[in-house]
Structure 1
Amino acid sequence: MPAVTAGFELDPRIERDTEPLMWLGLCELRVMNDRRWPWLMLVPQRVRAVELHDLTPLDQTMLTFEADMVSKALKETTSCRKINIAALGNVVPQLHVHLVARNEGDPGWPGPVWGYGQREPYRREDLHQFIAAIKASLSR
């Protein structure tokens, strides 16, 4: 993956809970290591970005474009009913955007994924398979 923006440091909690997938331009795309939901995360590589309004108008546009591109790939890969997109930041203030594939009957449906049960890490093979499927969808 390319070098990050000078001075940018990924929050250690994001680094701990996710795996890198690929660089998109503005954002690093990461996979939440929780097999209960297909869950991706966009992390804009901007120093001190906490809120969307901390980004320049051009970066805001790029984030919207990348979120759209990733949500389409996630929906294509999982055939899910709904994509949940959120930028909460209550626990980890560094700006990051969650994209979660949801289906009726998944753990916690229809409620939010946050705070529901305990995280269940992927088996390495399953994680690599999911990453490969997302990359393939994004390359189409």
Structure 2
Amino acid sequence: MTEHQPCELCQGTGGTMLWQDGRCRVVLVADADYPGFCRVIWTEHVKEMTDLDETERLHLMSIVFATEHVIRTVMNPDKINLASLGNMTPHLHWHVIPRFEHDPHFPQPVWATRLRDADATWHHEALLPRLKQALIHLLGQPTS
């Protein structure tokens, strides 16, 4: 991304909004292969964790960990993958991905070569209210 290209995470939400406060938001990514895949996105356009001060880093990671907890509680995955890459979108965000032994890439990373077809056990639309309510219960009412 050059400085002339707009940032997709500054221009849009990056998924279906589940929860937000003044510093970050949690969104559900519409990915049929990985239902429950969430992103925790820092609102301000920064590239790296060390661009944040210590208090901001702690706040962001508390939201990442709360999101992991909610996904584990709602979906009972075999594993959770946490990743902060940003190579293609250099805007600080964390991927929180529930993994199941039957998912298309398990045990490989979700970006690896597909090993099998997806098992549509979970549906995006059904997960949205459950994940949203669990985040609100854990983190409190969203703010803007």
TM-score (norm 1): 0.77
1:12 and 2:8 aligned: yes
1:56 and 2:53 aligned: yes
Q: Distance in 1 between matches of 2:41 and 2:88?
A: 15
Instruction: Please tell me the residue identity of whatever aligns with 1:11.
Output: C
Q: Distance in 2 between matches of 1:34 and 1:115?
A: 15
Who is 1:36 aligned against?
A: 33
Contact 2:14–2:27 under 8 Å retained in 1: no
Q: Give the drift of 1:27.
A: 1.2
Who is 1:89 aligned against?
A: 86
Q: Distance in 2 between matches of 1:22 and 1:116?
A: 32
Q: Distance in 1 between matches of 2:20 and 2:13?
A: 18
Q: Give the drift of 1:20.
A: 2.0
Who is 1:4 aligned against?
A: none
The alignment yields a C-alpha RMSD, in angstroms, of 2.5
Cα separation, partners in 2 of 1:11 and 1:21, compared to 1, 3 Å? farther
Who is 1:65 aligned against?
A: 62
Indicate the SS of the match to 1:62.
Answer: helix
TM-score (norm 2): 0.75
Indicate the structure (1 or 2) with the bigger Cα radius of gyration: 2
Q: Distance in 1 between matches of 2:55 and 2:28?
A: 25
Cα separation, partners in 2 of 1:92 and 1:21, compared to 1, 3 Å? same
Q: Distance in 2 between matches of 1:135 and 1:30?
A: 9
Structure 1 residue runs of 4+, over 3 Å off?
13-17
Q: Distance in 2 between matches of 1:90 and 1:61?
A: 23
Instruction: Please tell me the residue identity of whatever aligns with 1:50.
Output: K
Instruction: Please tell me the residue identity of whatever aligns with 1:113.
Output: V
1:23-68: CA deviation from partner (whole Å, max 9, x where unpaired): 1453111111102112000001123x10110111111000111111
Instruction: Please tell me the residue identity of whatever aligns with 1:68.
Output: F
Cα separation, partners in 2 of 1:24 and 1:127, compared to 1, 3 Å? farther
Indicate the SS of the match to 1:130.
Answer: helix
